[in-house]
Structure 1
Amino acid sequence: MPNNTRSSVVKLRRKQAPAQQQAPSPVPPEMLPRIGYQLKDGKGHLDLHHDGDEASAIALFTKGLAMPDRGMVLGYLGMVAGYAINDGKIDEDRVNFIVQFVAAMKPKDPAETMMLTQMAAVQYLTMMFASRLGRASELRSCDFYDRTVNKLARTYAAQMQTLKQYRSDGKQKIVVKHVTVNEGGQAIVGDVTHGGGAGGASEEGEATA
């Protein structure tokens, strides 16, 4: 019996090994190059602060932002920079906040990257209007900022729920606790788990005296 147990454990580990090797390792946000922009003649120029060459810097963004190639990385960074333009100047802190937030959330594909980018932008605006609400003195201004903060906060919560559903492939998990008392006073306590997706149901129980 012990020999069979050891054999099954070895097989299980060998099965899991390829999946672990194929899983992408995320890039920590602090490893990403800091992004700088310069506006010249009405055009934005990307400036990546990185010790290596441009190719190695783009490779970090490709991995950290789950982008397939250089073109999508540059297009994405340009889009974020366009959002951060204020009074003809680019707010580099806002650009880097968004990109690092997205990387910290470990996106698995470009769709998640875009969803996380929207979440970061909404969160930034939420805090900005919350700050203005704290400084407002007129009733009309307080009411406007209060409604704006509430709308943004609800939007962020909805985005979080959408991301959660997307990452779970739309499956829902419902756990039902039940207790069955058999003859002789023995109780069986267990969980019944129903998969909301294409999967079936499974039951697990534990006998207690």
Structure 2
Amino acid sequence: MTTAPDPAMTTAIAASDPAQAAAAPRVKFSSHGFCIDHPDPLLGEQLMANALGAVDRDAMEGILRQLVKASVSGGSPDQVNLSFMLSMVKSLRPRDSVEAMLVAQMVSVHVMAMRCAHHLAHAKDLAQHDSAARALGRLTRTFPAQIEALNRYRSHGEPAITVQNVKVEDGGNAIVGNVTQHANVIVSDKTPASTTRKAPKTAGSRRGRASAHAERDAQA
């Protein structure tokens, strides 16, 4: 069964029950594992797929299973952790498989970082303190790198560069207006304005012209 994100179905759900469409899908744990907690199993799967950015049922179940494992606390999956992670994934709105995997990693890294911060605060000796501090440092450096990767992927790898201060020397050209640069393309909202300046007249050139005038006067 295909459970790819369906904007039309999401719109229909929002029209019939806005609160249901706004809430992140929930997962219920049992002795046999876990399942999507929804009165309509098919609709529950569709909502979960939409939230995770999954392209089909296999992708949805795979990412969900990975998030369940990442939510483990004290040796077993944690309902509060998982609900938080699902809510964060939905708020980031992954749009395809790449974004779905990256966003799942991001929320997992955040949860692990907070877990390391807890261990650091409760370290009982220097070894525990150093171990937790190193792990926390690595995770907190990874998280902004993941944010940058997601932004670059969503902008097709062409980050915008805004130039604010430009100095133009004599003989140079400047573009008047806002400039946005993407890879090999520069776009301006106004036409180029030349700032080429004429070189100042030197004393030698003035003396040359004066001598020429004097010579013509003498011949006359």
Common fold: TM-score over 0.5: yes
Contact 1:48–1:54 at 8 Å: present in 2 too? yes
Distance 1:89 1:138 in 2: 26
Match of 1:7? none
Aligned residue number for residue 29 of structure 2:
37
Cα distance in structure 2, aligned partners of 1:53 and 1:29: 14
Aligned to 1:142: 129
2:65 pairs with 1:84: no
More strand by share: 1
Runs (5+) with no aligned partner, structure 2: 1-6, 15-19, 169-174, 192-220
Q: Equivalent pairs: percent with the same residue?
A: 27
- Does the 8 A contact of 2:102 with 2:146 survive in 1? yes
Report if aligned partners of 1:32, 1:57 keep a CA contact under 8 Å in 2: no
Corresponding residue number in structure 2 for 1:4: none
RMSD: 3.2
Does structure 2 conserve the Cα–Cα contact (< 8 Å) formed by 1:179 and 1:189? no
Q: Deviations 1:39-89 (Å, cap 9, x if unpaired)? A: 33xxx2x33222x31011111112222212223222322222233345553
Name which one, 1 or 2, has greater alpha-carbon Rg.
2
Partner-residue secondary structure (3-state), 2:53: coil
Consecutive unaligned residues in structure 1, runs of 5 or more: 1-20, 181-187
Instruction: Give the number of aligned pairs.
Output: 173
Q: Distance in 2 between matches of 1:130 and 1:72?
A: 31
Q: 1:55 and 2:47 equivalent?
A: no
Q: Show the 5 A alignment for 1:166-205.
A: 166-177=153-164, 178=166, 189-196=176-183, 200-205=185-190
User: Residue 191 of structure 1 contacts residue 203 of structure 1 at CA under 8 Å; is this kept in 2?
Assistant: yes
Structure 2 equivalent of residue 72 of structure 1: 59
Amino acid at match of 1:32: A
Question: Are the equivalent residues in 1 in contact too, given 2:25–2:86 (CA < 8 A)?
Answer: no
| Cα distance in structure 2, aligned partners of 1:148 and 1:155 | 11
Return the alpha-carbon distance in structure 2 between the equivalents of residues 119 and 189 of structure 1. 41
Letter in 2 for 1:151: R
Alignment partners' CA distance in 1, 2:95 and 2:158: 17
TM-score, structure 1 normalization: 0.70
The runs of 4+ residues in structure 1 deviating greater than 6 Å are none
Is this contact kept in 2: 1:29–1:100, CA < 8 A? no
